[in-house]
Amino acid sequence: MCDSRLPNLSRDQRDFRLQSRDVHVWTIHRGAPDPMLPKFQSLLADEELDRANRFRFEHLRRSYIISRAALRMLLGCYSRTAPKNIHFDYSPNGKPSSNASADICFNASHSKAFTLLAFTRECNIGVDLEEIRPLSDMTAIARQFFCADEAAELLSLPAAERRHAFFLCWTRKEAYLKATGDGLSIGLDRFRVSLRPSEPARFIHFAEEVPSAKRWVLHDLKPVQGYAAAVAYSGTPRTIQVFALSEPTQLLDIGRIG
C-alpha cells in the first residue's frame, strides 16, 4: 500500500484512488539535491539509464531521470506496483503506455523545470506544458503550423495578449495530438482550437479526415504561474483534479511500495 507521508494532500490524493471518470494531474519540479539523484536513478530500467546517459548536458540528464522516476512512482501508486517493476511499451509514434495496470492511462509533458503528468482510466489522454516565453519567430511559427483561421485570430489580438494566446493554442493542439498518440503525423493545421485568453479551451473545427470533435474533450490547466498547459482526452467530460506542485523528494516516500 502507499505510504501517506506526503504533506498537504487530500485523502483521495494520499490514497491514490483514481475513479473511472477521474483525471489526476500532477506537476513535478524537476530538481533535487545531488545526494538524492542515485535514489531516482535506482528506479529506472536499463534502457532509461542508457537514454539518460546520452544527454549531452548534465541538467537535461538529471531532469530526465527525475521526471521518469516521478512517473514510475506515481504510476506505481495508482496501480499498486513497485516503480522499478513497471515496464513501458511505446506506440509506433512513441507514445508510452505501461504494463502496470491494464486500464490506467497516462501522459507526460516537460517544460523547463517542470513535468506535468496526467492519469486516468480507460481513455486516450494527452497533456502539454509550455513556458510562456518570448519567441522572435512566433508569427512565422503560427503561420506555418497553426490553421489559417487560428493564425488570423492570433494576429488580430492586441499585441499584449498575443504571446499568451500563442501558447494556449500550441498546448491545446499538442495535447490533442498526444491524446491520439499520432504526434505530429496529423497536421497541426487539420483542426482548429480556441486561443483567446478570455475563452475556455475547446475544439472549433476538425478537417474531415481527423477524428471527430464529439469524441474528444479539451481543458486548460493552470499548473504553474507563467506556463500554459492543456489536457485532451477521448469521450465525455471527466472530473479533473490538479494537485499542488510537488517536489520529487516528496514522491520518494510514496515510491517505496510493492
Ligand X SMILES: CC(C)(COP(=O)(O)OP(=O)(O)OC[C@H]1O[C@@H](n2cnc3c(N)ncnc32)[C@H](O)[C@@H]1OP(=O)(O)O)[C@@H](O)C(=O)NCCC(=O)NCCS
- In the bound state with ligand X, the residue whose beta carbon lies nearer, of 9 and 141, is 141
Report the phi/psi class of residue 101: left, alpha or beta, with left for phi > 0 and alpha for psi in -120 to 50.
Answer: beta
94 binds ligand X (CB under 6 A): yes
Query: Could you identify the residue written with the cell 510537488?
Result: 246
Point out which span in 26-34, 92-100, 211-219, 233-241 binds ligand X (CB under 6 A): 92-100
Q: How far is the CB of 151 from ligand X (least distance, A)?
A: 11
Minimum gap (Å) between residue 50 Cβ and ligand X: 13
Edge to edge, what strands does the sheet with 125-131 contain?
Answer: 125-131, 227-234, 216-221
Pick the closer one to ligand X by CB: 81 or 107: 107
User: Closer CB to ligand X, residue 60 or residue 213?
Assistant: 60
Rounded to 10°, the helix 148-156/159-180 angle is 150
From residue 136 to residue 155, what is the string marking binding to ligand X with x (rule CB under 6 A)? ---------x----------
- Least separation in angstroms between residue 40's CB and ligand X is 13
The helix (run of H) or strand (run of E) holding residue 23 is strand 22-29
Comparison of 68 and 121: residue with beta carbon closer to ligand X? 68
Q: Does 126 participate in binding ligand X (rule CB under 6 A)?
A: yes
In terms of DSSP bridges, do strands 22-29 and 239-242 run parallel, antiparallel, or are they unpaired?
A: parallel
Q: Which residues contact 228 (CB under 8 A, 6 or more apart)?
A: 129, 130, 132, 164, 167, 168, 170, 171, 220
Look up residue 167 and give its three cell numbers: 501558447
Which of these ranges, 32-40, 103-111, 197-205, 209-217, lies near ligand X under the rule CB under 6 A? 103-111
Q: How far is the CB of 183 from ligand X (least distance, A)?
A: 4
Q: With binding defined as CB under 6 A, does residue 95 bind ligand X?
A: yes
Q: What is the DSSP string of 159-178?
A: HHHHHHHHHHHHHHHHHHHH
The minimum distance between CB 237 and ligand X, in angstroms, equals 21
Quick one: which segment of 89-97, 157-165, 202-210, 223-231 binds ligand X (CB under 6 A)?
Answer: 89-97
Give yes or no for a contact between 77 and 16, defined as CB atoms under 8 angstroms apart.
yes
Cα–Cα dist 40/248, whole Å: 9
- Total residues contacting ligand X by CB under 6 A comes to 21
Which chain residues interact with ligand X by CB under 6 A? 67, 93-96, 107-110, 126, 128, 145, 170, 173-174, 177-178, 181, 183-184, 188
